Amino acid sequence: MVIHYKCPNCGSDMTFDSESGMLSCGSCGRKDNIQNFSDEFITATFEVDEAKQYHCENCGAVIITEAETTATNCSFCEAAVVLGDRLSGDLAPAKVIPFTISKDEAMDAFRKWCKNGRLTPKGFMTADRIKGITGIYVPFWLYDLDSKAKVNAVGTKVRTYTRGDYIYTEKKFYDVYRDIDLSYVKVPVDASEKMDDVLMDKLEPYDYKNLKEFKTPYLAGYIAEKYNYTDQELLSRVKTKVQPYIDDYISSTINGYASVNYKNKQIHTSQKKAYYTLLPVWMVYYDFDNKEHIFAMNGQTGKVVGKPPISFRKVAGWFGGIAAITFIGMKAISFAVGGVLW
Amino acid sequence: MNKHTWTVVISFFAICLLTLGTMAGASGTDRHIYDDAGLVNETELAQLEQLAKEHSEELETTFLFLTTNDAEGKDVVTYMKDFFDGWADENGQEDAVLLTIDMDNRDVFLAGFGSAETTLDDDRIDLVLDKVMPHIANQQYTEAFREMVVTSSKYMEFRPGVNPENLLFKWGFQLGVSVILAGVIVGIMAYNSGGRVTVTNRTYVDHNHTRVNSNRDRFINKTVTKRKKPSNNNKGGGGGRIGGGGVTGGGRSFSGGGRSF
């Protein structure tokens, strides 16, 4: 099933417009609200042998896609197409955060980010070799989690005092118990095999105020992928992700001790809900020094992540500069206090 | 100008220079070492005199070294006081640092007179003695005086009241702090160059459903351990200590400190 959006006015291809959040026509400028866009203008065709091939609704050419792709552009006529059957049934996303940063804004934001790179080589900072920029809806699972924690610990309070010629150290031991309910909402975990987990984790947080019910037109004009891992398969990953949050909360409830020694920590985390959600990411491909560097930008907040090249000279410069200034500062302090420089 | 006038002018300047030179020399005295006990040999004596002269001129404080085999029945402090009254009256010089080695009582005493009473106070004298005593224990009296002159001169350049051995004044410490700080800052910059994690443990918390259901903090038992207060006089390299400053019979007050060996 290939979905293609035709403008009700002029019949041109329509794509999602990140600025207005509506489906818009590039030719006549018509904008339509996605939540009530009439099905009449969405052409959906079922293919006979659709596991293998999709044909563009617009020009009839074969759409070349990878197995994960759910939205793309026709490589011949550039029309935005959405592969509906890869977005239905079990594969139907529940939610989506639409792009709020357009391609141009993304380019600008990326260039600005490069300029601020204090340790990146000079040639990199100009950001004039951006090879490509692609807007991708990355599949995520947003988990609602309930945790129960039962903690036994021994807390120690220490007091020292002096009587006569002796210094006394008094240690008081306490039996500490906590029964805690914890709840976390919409913790995101990326469900795409291709995407680097560390990179995706750094893109957070997303603003959930713009979380929308999923509709296919949001994908028009972007690349979108379907999940490779189910919510069950990624449950352990989200559990490890919230583990430090839980530990931190537990220790925040145990106060007033010099040291706390945990005897028993039972944490049971269960999945209340998991929403299959598409989150917007701009992928930037940048050639520098014969190497391709990949960066990801949060398509909603503009946060950029990825390992930029590091200039040894700049590192040395910053190191030397900071060390020299600190040293002069130390000398100034010693002169102010002791009246000598050495 | 003819030849004659030139000679007059040159001789005038020569005389001026000579007078200046002798005046500068007069700020101290030609003799710094009164080695009645004969602890220093001839060649070393000349070297020590030279060292004492240089430092004395630089700091405008005379460094003196007094040794004796016979304290005339006096203790080291009294012997030192009497010597200094005599020396000061004779030389008209009040700013001095005096190291006394009394082989009779086997005591060492270091005193600061005049301006040296503040620039080399009791605490600093104690620090100098820490460095001097090992040499005396090894019977290296020349080295002891040399160490005293060099260390005291160094300390006397510090503002009065400041501990000159404070870590803050050490090159190694200053360099170390600079390098470590720079390393940490650049390290953080490099680590964060790829984007920081800005999610905290509060980002995804549902506050309405996160709570402590029950808690308990029950006292079980306690232990008490005791140890003796550390005593403060554990320094001194085996010998006893001789108290701080005082006033000489001639009314000269001084800072000081001494030790037995």
Residue of A nearest to B160 (CA): A338
A306: nearest CB among B177, B194, B215: B194
Q: Per-residue confidence of chain A (342 residues) as pLDDT tens digits?
A: 778 888 888 888 888 888 888 888 888 888 888 877 666 566 655 554 444 577 887 787 877 777 778 888 887 887 888 887 788 777 888 899 999 999 999 998 888 888 888 888 888 877 677 888 999 999 999 999 999 999 999 999 999 999 888 999 999 999 999 999 999 999 999 999 888 888 899 999 999 998 988 888 888 889 898 888 999 999 999 999 999 999 999 999 999 999 999 999 999 999 999 999 999 999 998 888 788 888 999 999 999 998 888 889 999 999 999 999 999 998 898 888 887 766
> Using omega within 30 degrees of 0 as the cis cutoff, is the peptide bond preceding A205 cis?
yes
Q: Which of A327, A334, A339 sits opposite B178 (nearest CB)?
A: A327
**Which of chain B's residues have a Cβ under 8 Å away from the Cβ of A318?**
182, 185-186, 189
A258 and B CB contact within 8 Å: no
- Distance from the B1 Cα atom to the nearest Cα atom in chain A, whole angstroms: 50
Q: Residue A25 to residues A9, A59, A79, A214, A286: CA-CA distances in angstroms? A: 9, 18, 11, 20, 30
Q: Does A270 touch chain B (CB under 8 A)?
A: no
Residue A308, token pair as written in the block: 């930029």
For domain B29-167+235-260, the CATH class is alpha beta
Out of A118, A242, A326, whose CB is closest to B182? A326
The structural domains of chain B, with segments of one domain joined by +, span 29-167+235-260
Tokens (6 digits) for A248: 């931190």
Cα separations in angstroms, A151 against A242, A254, B207, B213 = 17, 10, 20, 12
Best of B186, B198, B211, B218 to disrupt the A interface by mutation (most A CBs within 10 Å)?
Answer: B186
Inform me whether the C-beta atom of residue A308 falls under 8 Å from chain B C-beta atoms. Answer: yes
pTM for the predicted model, two decimal places: 0.71
- Mapped onto helix, strand or coil, the DSSP state of residue A24 is strand
H or E stretch covering B209: none
Interface contact flag, A205 B198, Cβ < 8 Å: yes
**A146 in contact with B, Cβ within 8 Å:** yes
Residues of A in contact with B124 (CB under 8 A): none
